[in-house]
Amino acid sequence: MRKRTLLFILLSLLALLLAACGGSSEEPAAGGEESAQTTEETSGGEEAMTFKVGLVTDVGEIDDKSFNQSAWEGVLRAKEELGAEVDYIETKDAKDYEENIRLFADQGYNVIVTVGFALGEATAKMAEEYPDIYFIGVDQFQAPGTEKPNLAGLIFNEDKAGFLAGALAAQITKSGKIAAVLGTDLVPPVVAFKEGYEAGARYINPDIEIISTYHPGGLDVAFTDPEWGAATAKQAIDQGADVIFGAGGKTGNGALIEAASYEGVYCIGVDTDQWLTVPEARPCLVSSAMKLITPGVFDLVKMAKEGSFPSGNYVGEVGLAPFHDFEDDIPQEVKDKLKEIDEGLRNGTIETGYNPGG
Amino acid sequence: MADAKIANGAPPTRWQRFAQAITIPLLAVVLAMLVGAIIIVIAGANPLGGYTAMFRGALGTARGLVRTFEKATPLIFSGLAVAFAFKAGLFNIGAQGQLILGAIAAAYVGFAFEGLPPFVHLPLALAAGMLAGAIWGAIPGALKTFTGAHEVITTIMLNFVAINLTDYLANGPWKDRSPGNIVARTPAILPSAELPSIGVVPLGLLIAIGMAVLAWWVLANTTFGYEIRAVGLNPAAARYAGMSVGRTVIASMAISGLLAGLGGAVETLGIVGRYQPGFNTGLGFDGITIALLAQTSPLGVVPAALLFGVMRAGANQMQLYGVDAEIIGIVQGTMLLFVSAPIIIRKLFRLRAPEGGEEVVLSTGWGSSG
């Protein structure tokens, strides 16, 4: 008898679920949900044609407090300011890059943003296959001679951002020892951050001691290993370092959070303003070496809409995040020096010495 | 339920044994999807629509079908690898490492050996993958035999070695040096090493199914297969019966690794076209779930892997529908829970435990070194 009761409960649960779905199943199926949203959102717009922007993430989540999220925020700004209809797909398997781009392309999207250099090849291929769609490849360098009119690579000079971080670190260290806890050197932007950081520090103080450590693991763990990041930061601090630059996703975040538990140790974040994304690190976080992805993506989407889309590489801005609570702790001369360096990096009078491929 | 009839000592018929064997996995799949549905509802989406989008994306179009087959193929191999070791009482957690070494070995032969005709080049690349996987599988087998080191520990450790070794090769000596490439990966394989498709069916899938049948046949009909099962059920008794337990353990692990390595090779030669770190993530680990869902039956691995293929291929469509792809992970994890703790299902549905026979033993315990 009890078996029957259980079966009955399960069946009624199933029926309940089916009923719950019944309401919406009257809508057109498969993609029908999408078009239903479309009409809803565009009914207020003045344009007859909807402007649709899709985003494909790299393997990772849309709310990763880093790349994917910054790019998505740029797309969301396009939704607000340009009335675009937007959606995203999180890539779960690196082999699906093309397929995920295609899902948007086949649904008539106008602009497709792909996030991360790993999607570069798939994006270029799809740009060729769908010449009427604009593609924005975040962190995807377009090699000379391979540019496509409907594809723009949003790239950043990470070495310049790293240079500023290094110059800041060298000016606030008391021990004369600074450290960097990094994701893997398999990823070129990480190398650029590191080289820039070291060059920036030596620009201020040629004799400074720098302890830079790459995560020894593969791509699948190098950016998701906060424990290693924390342990490495601790090691560097034990060796006398008092500024920690954490560059490498969650691994770097682990280093920042570890540094926050020490008195008199500063830390510097990466990619986005980590004051906002890693509040646990606030006790030590003086600034972050930022790639301004959100405005870069938004600007490119806007240009696509206005018909002034640039092909080839589009260099986005880099810079240091605000000092937040450390605003008063950082001496004015340090701020002036950073400003001077920032200008020097922009007009080319200061070079980071980083030369990829060299 | 079929097992009600088996009560009084009469040996179960083939059909009854089959029904008994698939009861738990089928219920596990259904229950796991129900759990997934409940979570989808809690997340504010429509589970029926979500699942429909998944199945439509995976099976509704020719392209979807191709993708399902492509996704299922390496999973059949890794599932077979884990299932085969299970039969010898070994828990091979190292299918991932064996698979990626097979993948990179096949890639190397694929790009480095120029001027070979396809009927030489392709088999050679596949063989390289098998060999690499077999060696990587044999190491924990030998460690277990000669030092007593438990294979669960050694295979996990060797996964890390394999990951770092392949990363090093793909970013070092075997790196793609073509202009403009900054990514860690090997050069593309030559056309003569490419594994073709027959219509919507990748040749790799046919090889996978062939290997499943072969593994089943070896286990069921050969002396070697009998020894493997004997060692798996009771190493002490097998030794007493005059079998070489150590040799069987090493051989089973080598074959297990060979199957995983072949999976990696097929993936490289048929899908990815080169070795690139991160492109084979999770294939070996999903093999564990698949082998357990298949109740360690080599033939059962095929439908189990196809189910996973459907989920992996349809997950993206599901996302566009508004259901997070993480649901798939939850469903698969719940499935694993139900099949690895069948007592939950037995209690839920008041099923009788099968009497004697070769039931899946999930852990061989820490002390039971062969």
* CA distances (Å), origin A294, targets A104, A290, A298: 21, 11, 6
What's the confidence (pLDDT) of residue B15?
85
Whether the pLDDT of residue A3 is over 70: the answer is: no
Task: Tell me the angle at which helices B326-340 and B342-349 cross, rounded to the nearest 10 degrees.
Answer: 80
> How confident is the model over A7-34, as pLDDT tens digits?
555 555 555 555 444 444 333 334 434 4
What's the confidence (pLDDT) of residue A54?
95
Q: How far apart are the first and last CA of chain B?
A: 38
Using the beta-carbon criterion (under 8 Å), do A33 and B315 form an inter-chain contact?
Answer: no
> How confident is the model over B308-353, as pLDDT tens digits?
999 999 998 898 888 888 899 899 999 999 988 877 788 878 777 7
Question: Which of B3, B68, B167 best tests the A interface by mutation, with the highest count of A CBs <10 A?
Answer: B167
Comparing A23 with B142, the larger pLDDT belongs to B142
Which residues in chain B have Cβ-Cβ distances shorter than 8 Å to A186?
167, 171, 184, 277
Enter the ipTM: 0.75
Question: What is the C-alpha to C-alpha distance for residues B302 and B212, in angstroms, rounded to an integer?
Answer: 7
Rank A268-277, A348-357, B3-12, B341-350 by mean pLDDT and report only the highest: A268-277
Q: Is A85 helix (H, G, I), strand (E, B) or coil?
A: strand
Query: Do residues B36 and B47 make contact, with C-beta atoms less than 8 angstroms apart?
Result: yes
Question: Domains in chain A and their CATH numbers?
Answer: 49-156+292-317 (3.40.50.2300), 158-290+323-347 (3.40.50.2300)
What's the confidence (pLDDT) of residue B37?
94
Question: What is the C-alpha to C-alpha distance for residues A180 and A229, in angstroms, rounded to an integer?
Answer: 10
> How confident is the model over A153-200, as pLDDT tens digits?
999 999 999 999 999 999 999 999 999 999 988 888 899 999 999 999
Query: Do residues B156 and B230 make contact, with C-beta atoms less than 8 angstroms apart?
Result: no
What's the confidence (pLDDT) of residue B362?
53
Closest-approach residue (CA) in chain A for B185? A186
Kindly report the nearest CA distance between residue B318 and chain A, in angstroms.
Answer: 10
Question: What is the C-alpha to C-alpha distance for residues B71 and B280, in angstroms, rounded to an integer?
Answer: 11
Question: Which of B159, B286, B319 best tests the A interface by mutation, with the highest count of A CBs <10 A?
Answer: B319
Q: Bridge-partner residues for A85, per DSSP?
A: A52
Closest-approach residue (CA) in chain B for A21? B46
Q: Does A143 touch chain B (CB under 8 A)?
A: yes
User: What is the pLDDT averaged over residues B141-151?
Assistant: 95
Which residues in chain B have Cβ-Cβ distances shorter than 8 Å to A107?
320
Q: Does A1 touch chain B (CB under 8 A)?
A: no
Comparing A340 with B184, the larger pLDDT belongs to A340
What's the confidence (pLDDT) of residue A272?
87
What's the confidence (pLDDT) of residue B17?
81
User: Token match 């200061």: residue?
Assistant: A350
Average pLDDT score, chain A: 86
What's the confidence (pLDDT) of residue A145?
85
The region of weakest confidence among A53-57, A124-128, B276-280 is B276-280
Q: Does B160 touch chain A (CB under 8 A)?
A: yes
Chain A with chain B: Cβ pairs closer than 8 A: 110
Task: Tell me the angle at which helices B283-293 and B62-87 cross, rounded to the nearest 10 degrees.
Answer: 70
Kindly report the nearest CA distance between residue A124 and chain B, in angstroms.
Answer: 13
> How confident is the model over A237-252, as pLDDT tens digits?
999 999 999 998 889 9
Q: What fold does the segment set B72-321 form as a domain?
A: ABC transporter involved in vitamin B12 uptake, BtuC (1.10.3470)
What's the confidence (pLDDT) of residue A39?
39
> How confident is the model over A291-326, as pLDDT tens digits?
999 999 999 999 999 999 998 999 999 999 999 999
Question: What is the C-alpha to C-alpha distance for residues B262 and B75, in angstroms, rounded to an integer?
Answer: 11
Using the beta-carbon criterion (under 8 Å), do A357 and B182 form an inter-chain contact?
Answer: yes
Whether the pLDDT of residue A117 is over 90: the answer is: no
Q: Does B324 touch chain A (CB under 8 A)?
A: yes
Question: What is the C-alpha to C-alpha distance for residues B70 and B266, in angstroms, rounded to an integer?
Answer: 10
Query: Do residues A49 and A39 make contact, with C-beta atoms less than 8 angstroms apart?
Result: no
Whether the pLDDT of residue B294 is over 60: the answer is: yes
Closest-approach residue (CA) in chain B for A146? B180
User: What is the pLDDT averaged over residues B123-145?
Assistant: 97
Question: Which of B185, B268, B316 best tests the A interface by mutation, with the highest count of A CBs <10 A?
Answer: B316
Q: Does A34 touch chain B (CB under 8 A)?
A: yes
Whether the pLDDT of residue A2 is over 70: the answer is: no
